[in-house]
Amino acid sequence: IYKTKLFDEVIYCEGTAPITLASGNEAHVYAEIAMQYDDGYSSNIFSFCNNVHTHEGGMHETGFRDAMRRVVNNYARDYKFLKDGEDDLTYDDIAEGLTAVISVKHPNPQFEGQTKTKLGNSEVRRIVNGIVSEQFQRFLLEDPRLARMIMEKIVMAANARMAARKAREDARKGTKKNNKE
């Protein structure tokens, strides 16, 4: 099944941040993130550290998720895509139709496990979070037309999730009611 991009632009974020190594020396972590939305329902998040594919994610992916959740929910509230009192949008809502590549270059990566499938450096979470927060927010503010397209897709995903939950609850209530008769 072919998916259609919501828009041609790739959302691109990059930056560096200093860290202090165990030796006391200062080094830099470089992070680069590219993402694009399509009209599909699944997400494809690919993460790497020093060109090693971290299949199980890790701190760089956690920082990305946290930033996306915060930026999207703040934007949704500020621009009335969410009303007061409505629940926050979930990461699953935000990630629906999202393809993202998260790549970090770290002078001393700490992988979890023998297969190097998960990055464990906690400072990477803060670094990626800061870069994505600042630059994705700027992207949304600088291009309201594309921001609206993204937000409408995310809100539609949230509405579908809530409708499915309501349908499950209604079906369970109906089953309980029928069992009592």
* pLDDT for the residue numbered 127: 98
CA angle at 104 for the pair 42 and 34, rounded to the nearest 5°? 40
* pLDDT for the residue numbered 177: 61
* pLDDT for the residue numbered 181: 59
Q: State how far the alpha carbon of 106 is from the alpha carbons of 32, 38, 47, 87, 147, in Å.
A: 12, 30, 13, 37, 32
Q: What is the mean pLDDT of each run of 10 residues along the chain (181 residues)?
A: 89 97 94 97 96 95 98 97 93 97 97 87 97 98 97 95 89 70 59
Among 120, 107, 124, 111, CA closest to 52: 111
* pLDDT for the residue numbered 76: 97
Instruction: Identify the bridge partners of residue 15 per DSSP, sorted by sequence position.
Output: 31
- This prediction has a pTM of 0.92
* pLDDT for the residue numbered 115: 81
* Size (the chain), residues: 181
User: Maximum Cα–Cα distance for the chain, whole Å?
Assistant: 74
- Number of helices (H), then strands (E), in the chain: 4, 7
